[in-house]
A and B are shown apart, each in its own frame.
Chain A
């Protein structure tokens, strides 16, 4: 699978990649994006199988990216990895078409719970 990881923090992208591996999801191609706009462009250019996106990013938020993708006809599986995991935000994410929301801080078990069945 090709997995696109969108986060404006390079350090956090590294932590997400490391946690994916710790959760057993290694041997996948990883593409990185540094904000929502970059993620949108890379979904179009790279055609990933899954997007793991931060919510709060400059230029375009993760939610705006998801909404733009759906408006453009993309149905790419999309999940959030964000420091905000309130009920309100989970509802917003689900309403926009996200499969899951992983709240930071997370560990490999959190990833397994959210990604089991999503990553094959």
Chain B
């Protein structure tokens, strides 16, 4: 049986709704994500969680580095230090991806498993057809939330062999 693609399972409005709830609860009651695309700068940071199940892929949050720092301050509020440590920013960005990812997982067919948050350069989109992406502005700053599929292992092209030995 062919695995479903994400666009058969959820739409942008659902991802936006999940993100709105996360922002309102974690970032601030009056904080909104305006569903308007903006242009990310050259220095971005991403966080993501992996979902493995009938649909497998990652839920990726990407924003500019200074947006990540502002998000961290918003999450920590009065506990935000004057100088943010990189670990704090990674932690905050990872937790936002974790909450959005956990709620994306909840609307997908199960059983599924959720990985721990990771932070770094954005994972590559391997299948645009298996991707559901929301672009939004927070405090006028652009960010994206991408629910993007991971190709099944059996979907990989056959490995190359020479004289019967895997290359």
Contacts and interface: CB of A to CB of B under 8 A. Distances in A.
Interface residues of A, number: 22
A47 B111 CA distance: 35
B117 to A, nearest CB: 8
B127 interface: no
Interface string B79-114: 100000000100110110011011101100011001
A11 B72 contact: yes
B110 A105 contact: no
A12 B97 CA distance: 12
Contacts of A103: 102-103
A15 interface: yes
Contact of A84 (B75, B91, B106, B116): B106
Chain A to chain B: the 3 pairs with minimum beta-carbon distance, closest first:
A83-B102, A105-B25, A9-B95
Interface of B: 21-22, 24-26, 29, 72, 75-77, 79, 88, 91-92, 94-95, 98-99, 101-103, 105-106, 110-111, 114-117
Interface of A: 8-12, 14-15, 18, 56-58, 82-86, 88, 103-107
